[in-house]
Amino acid sequence: MLDTTPLTSAVDQFADRLRAAPQSRLQRGAAAEALELARELSARAQRLEEPSGEVRVMPDAGMFAVADQVTVAAHDLALVLPGEAALESAVARVAEARERAGI
State pLDDT tens for residues 55-69. Answer: 999 999 999 999 999
What confidence tier does 89 reach under pLDDT thresholds 50, 70, 90? very high
User: Alpha helices, DSSP H only, in the chain?
Assistant: 5-20, 23-25, 31-49, 66-80, 84-101
Task: Look at residue 21 and give its three-state secondary structure.
Answer: coil
* CB of 59 closer than 8 Å to CB of 75: no
Instruction: Kindly report the backbone phi and psi dihedral angles of residue 29, in degrees, each rounded to the nearest multiple of 5, phi listed first.
Output: 135, -15
pLDDT in tens, 17-49: 999 999 999 999 999 999 999 999 999 999 999
Our measurement of the distance from residue 54's CA atom to the centroid of its chain's CA atoms, rounded to an integer in Å, reads 19
pLDDT value for 87: 98
Which residues, at least 6 apart from 49, have a Cβ–Cβ distance to it below 8 Å? 80
Is the pTM above the cut of 0.85?
A: yes
What confidence tier does 1 reach under pLDDT thresholds 50, 70, 90? confident
